[in-house]
Amino acid sequence: MEQLSGIYGHEAAQPEGFFYQDWTCERFTATEHDRPPMYEHPLYQPPAGKTFIWDGVIRFAGTETAFEHGGYLEGALSAAERAVSNLHP
């Protein structure tokens, strides 16, 4: 309540109700494949293994598209560097 009122004002500290959402039970968010615990990052790759798709019109830069260290900051950096490489203003 303190945090909410700090952000949204005093009225936010007087809620009319509470609604809890367990996203793991939301079928568009989580499936049975999300349930087993993950012990290590999977081997990520760019979509379809390609660095650029649609002739470079779309470039994926997230860590989940890295060739190495996907899921880590290092993967995010290399994927970002790859995505901006050869970009012309």
Ligand X SMILES: Cc1cc2nc3c(=O)[nH]c(=O)nc-3n(C[C@H](O)[C@H](O)[C@H](O)COP(=O)(O)OP(=O)(O)OC[C@H]3O[C@@H](n4cnc5c(N)ncnc54)[C@H](O)[C@@H]3O)c2cc1C
Q: Is 67 in the site for ligand X (CB under 6 A)?
A: no
Nearer to ligand X by C-beta: 5 or 29? 29
DSSP for residue 32 = G
What is the distance between the alpha carbons of residues 28 and 25, in angstroms, rounded to a whole number?
9
Nearer to ligand X by C-beta: 1 or 7? 7
Q: Is 73 in the site for ligand X (CB under 6 A)?
A: yes
Give least dist CB 33 to ligand X, A: 19
What is the distance between the alpha carbons of residues 78 and 51, in angstroms, rounded to a whole number?
12
| Interface ranges with ligand X (CB under 6 A) | 62-63, 71-74, 76
